[in-house]
Amino acid sequence: MSQSALAVELKGIWKRFPGVIANKDINLQVALGTVHAIVGENGAGKSTLMKILYGMQKADEGTISINGTNFVFNSPSDAIESGIGMVHQHFMLADNFTVLENIVLGSEPKNGIRLDFAKARKQISEIAAENGLAVDPDVLVSELGVGDRQRIEILKVLYRGAKILILDEPTAVLVPHEVDELFNTLRDLKQEGYTVIFISHKLDEVLSIADEITVIRQGTTVGSVNPHTQKVSARDLAEMMVGNELPTPESVGDTIQDEVVLKVENLSVFAKGGKAIVDDISFQIHAGEILGIAGVEGNGQAEILDALMGIESASGQVYFKNEDITKKSTRHRRELGIGFIPEDRHRQALMLEAPLWENRMLGHQTREPNSKGIWLTPRSAKADTKRIVEEYDVRTPSIDVLASALSGGNQQKLIVGREMSGEPKLLIAAHPTRGVDVGAQAAIWDHIRDARQAGLAVLLVSADLDELIGLSDNIKVLLRGKFVADADPATVTPQELGTAMTGAGEAA
């Protein structure tokens, strides 16, 4: 590959943190006008490498070359000026601003001392039309679904002049048709001469969109493959990443018992204006049963889960093992044996600036091993944190490390380990394997299956339709706050489920 054909070249990149080497002698070449995927285990160093490329962190050693010229980035502003834009896994949009306001925020166009929104509107319309990113510039972001929000994030970086786009787990929250739309957009961008760096754990998607795939393991690059010219499968990539073949979430055997663990009757959740976000739904889950809820994000899943945990006020009745817990506190529900893996791990599941052992106690501080009577027991909590770290393969040099220092996938493993501790009777789980690598994903599936075998009831929400189909005993489709269809996991396909989720058809 000639030097002039490279959009990005990283040479000998090293990054050290206290107690850990995140990147060691990484080399990466990204050809101009291509989609280049980067895959690897959680904690392999992918995010750190991209933060270095985007100017969020500085490398200890090594060089960054953009279009053949060496740069030193001291901030994201430096990277943006060099034509690099990044779309983060957790979207960075202001819900109470319009699409137009979000796109220009921080780069407001001016005519003298006045803001020139007419110029911005025209420029955004042109960029959107050129790249198939149709959006309504005047709608509030709070009214948009996840697919539209992602388009806005892409428009933001294009508006700032980016020719190199870094996409961090861009399909993690998308349903199949939205993935197809995103990939069509990426192909259009490639045709326009843009370069895309694509970080993902979904190996089948990587193989379908990438021109080149680089695998990172334990902080260093272990190889690159071209799926167009080399015969490579998802299994091959998984073996390069973790040394194991790609796992599947297939459920084995019928474990459903007669006992009803969770019974929900006529549950409704209302927005401030009185509109029903969750509209009069009823269901029940038995011991040993996994009930999956399929739906495009924003259709009421988060509100259902929050209502069941006592976080969101709701009407209707909720029974746990025949006890009416409708008016009970979140603490009471926790103490009854309800585990909770929330949708937003940063907002609802972690204290980012607290050490891991304190996060082990979070939400469980009134129960052993975190307390005895009225007294907290840090020593026992620390010992159990070490168990979770080992059992769930949380990559960390110490349990005293702040939660913010972990990669997203390792944060998720800590949360799952915490919520699966203490033999819960019910697990309410939103996207339990979001952001984790294939090896950790398989381990989490095994933990859930083992607990289900022992009688755990699970309410599962997942944007990974293969996971939802593979783990669930029954699936309900949620659309605009109502259950609109039931699906049999034994026969339904992800495509059929995705169609039902959008209201375009019914699941099998």
**E strand or H helix that includes residue 67:** none
Neighbours of 70 (CB within 10 A): 10
Question: Is the Cβ–Cβ distance between 165 and 195 less than 8 Å?
Answer: yes
- The sign one gets for the Cα dihedral 351, 352, 353, 358 is positive
pLDDT at residue 504 above 70? no
498 vs 356, more confident = 356
pLDDT at residue 2 above 80? no
Neighbours of 7 (CB within 10 A): 24
Question: Is the Cβ–Cβ distance between 257 and 425 less than 8 Å?
Answer: no
Helix (H, G, I), strand (E, B) or coil at 129: helix
pLDDT at residue number 19: 75
pLDDT at residue number 388: 96
Exposed/middle/buried for residue 22 (C-beta within 10 Å: 0-12, 13-18, 19+): buried
Give the pLDDT confidence of 39-88 residue by residue, as tens digits: 988 778 888 899 999 999 999 999 999 999 999 999 999 999 999 999 88
Question: Is the Cβ–Cβ distance between 3 and 32 less than 8 Å?
Answer: no
Q: How far apart are CA 265 and CA 287, in angstroms?
A: 18
Cα torsion for 306, 308, 310, 313, to the nearest 10°? 70
pLDDT at residue number 253: 65
Give the pLDDT confidence of 85-103 residue by residue, as tens digits: 998 877 788 888 999 999 9
pLDDT at residue 242 above 80? no
Q: Which residues of 455-472 are buried (b: 16+ CB within 10 A; e: fewer)?
A: bbbbbbbbbbbbbbbbbb
Give the pLDDT confidence of 164-216 residue by residue, as tens digits: 999 988 887 777 778 888 899 999 999 989 999 999 878 888 999 999 999 99
191 vs 116, more confident = 191
- The sign one gets for the Cα dihedral 108, 110, 113, 118 is negative
Neighbours of 186 (CB within 10 A): 21
pLDDT at residue number 273: 80
Domains and CATH numbers, the chain: 3-242 (3.40.50.300), 259-337+424-508 (3.40.50.300), 344-421 (no CATH)
Question: Is the Cβ–Cβ distance between 398 and 358 less than 8 Å?
Answer: no
Report the candidate in 264, 262, 324, 252 with the shortest Cα–Cα distance to residue 287. 262
1 vs 62, more confident = 62
pLDDT at residue 141 above 80? yes
Question: Is the Cβ–Cβ distance between 439 and 413 less than 8 Å?
Answer: no
The residue type found at 145 is: G
Distances (CA, A) of 86 to 24, 184, 257, 383: 23, 19, 48, 39
Paired tokens of 198 = 């694509």
pLDDT at residue number 213: 96
Among the residues of 376-482, which ranges form H helices? 378-391, 408-419, 438-453, 465-471
Neighbours of 193 (CB within 10 A): 10
Cis-peptide, bond into residue 249, ω within 30° of zero: no
Helix (H, G, I), strand (E, B) or coil at 383: helix
pLDDT band at 149 (very low <50, low <70, confident <90, very high): confident
State the number of CA atoms in the 13 A half-sphere of 55 facing the CB: 18
pLDDT at residue number 324: 96
Please tell me which of 18-22, 173-177, 249-253 the model is most confident about, judged by mean pLDDT. Answer: 18-22
Please tell me which of 57-66, 439-448, 460-469 the model is most confident about, judged by mean pLDDT. Answer: 57-66
- DSSP-assigned letter for residue 256: -
Q: What is the mean pLDDT of the chain?
A: 89
pLDDT at residue number 245: 57
Neighbours of 203 (CB within 10 A): 22
Neighbours of 386 (CB within 10 A): 16
Q: How far apart are CA 408 and CA 345, in angstroms?
A: 9
Helix (H, G, I), strand (E, B) or coil at 345: helix
> Judging by DSSP bridges, how do beta strands 323-324 and 315-320 pair with one another?
antiparallel
The residue type found at 75 is: S
Distances (CA, A) of 274 to 279, 316, 344: 11, 16, 25
Give the pLDDT confidence of 395-412 residue by residue, as tens digits: 898 999 999 988 888 999
Give the pLDDT confidence of 203-234 residue by residue, as tens digits: 888 999 999 999 998 889 999 999 988 888 88
Distances (CA, A) of 160 to 77, 301, 385, 404: 10, 34, 44, 28
pLDDT at residue 1 above 60? no
Least confident span in 323-332, 435-444, 457-466: 435-444
Question: Is the Cβ–Cβ distance between 396 and 406 less than 8 Å?
Answer: yes
State the number of CA atoms in the 13 A half-sphere of 490 facing the CB: 4
pLDDT at residue number 170: 85
What average pLDDT does the segment 343-358 reach?
A: 92
What average pLDDT does the segment 337-350 reach?
A: 91
**E strand or H helix that includes residue 196:** strand 195-199
41 vs 284, more confident = 284
Paired tokens of 475 = 């699936």
**pLDDT over 90, % of the chain:** 58
pLDDT at residue 3 above 60? no
Report the candidate in 260, 266, 261, 331 with the shortest Cα–Cα distance to residue 304. 266
Distances (CA, A) of 166 to 64, 79, 125: 15, 11, 22
Whether the full predicted model's pTM is greater than 0.85, yes or no, is no
Among the residues of 198-282, which ranges form H helices? 203-209, 234-242
pLDDT at residue 249 above 90? no
**pLDDT over 70, % of the chain:** 95
What average pLDDT does the segment 273-279 reach?
A: 89
pLDDT band at 105 (very low <50, low <70, confident <90, very high): confident
pLDDT at residue 119 above 80? yes
